[in-house]
Amino acid sequence: MNFTWIREPKQFTLSDERITITTEPHTDLWQRTYYHFRNDNAPVLQTETDEQYFSFTVRTDFSESHHRFDQCGIVMYLDSENWLKASVEYENEHFQHLGSVVTNHGYSDWATTAIPADVKSMWYRFSRRQDDYCIECSQDGETFTQMRICHMWEGAGKIRFGIYACSPEDSSFTAEFTRFALGPCMWQAHDGQKPDQA
């Protein structure tokens, strides 16, 4: 996979097996909803494809995260107003948030669930079926659980996807990414209710 930076961070390492990103304070991705601010300065490392059916998997390690909202995970960043991400966001010494954000046409949402604070790594699988997408997570890299299915209004053609890390408040940590894999779509076609007829 040929990765390129959007907002290259000051500190990072790249190899075939391992990538690290050291976050800078006050970096984030968010658009408008509820908070009424716009943050669009997190470093993003992505590859590009026009393949319509695939799955991308990566393992994240965030052992060093220690401050509220420290996060790292997967991302599909098309432009500042159209993107999605999934990550674990540190909250406090008791719990953190496993969640995802989908941003369509400049408005973000945030869907989360609380997980224990001692979880320090997470696998993600990002799958595409044309302009619909599925995000799954796993603690062992074998059994994946669905986090969300979503539609991206600008996600029908060539897309870019990869990894990101950021620290929205006054903190910094080093995130580690390993076990990259790109292959056939693991998100199977729906076998229940048939599509509506046009």
> What's the CATH code of the domain at 59?
2.60.120.200
Q: Is residue 163 part of a domain?
A: yes
Number of independent structural domains in the chain? 1
Confidence (pLDDT) at 195: 82
DSSP one-letter code for 67: S
Confidence (pLDDT) at 181: 97
pLDDT tens-place string over residues 59-91 = 999 999 999 999 999 999 999 999 999 999 999
Per-residue exposure over 2-13, b if at least 16 CB sit within 10 Å of its own CB, e if not: eeeebeebeebe
What pTM value is reported for the model?
0.95
CA 137 – CA 145 distance, rounded (Å):
5
Low-confidence ranges of the chain (pLDDT < 70): none
Query: 57: alpha, beta or left, given left = phi > 0 and alpha = psi -120 to 50?
Result: beta
Q: Is residue 36 part of a domain?
A: yes
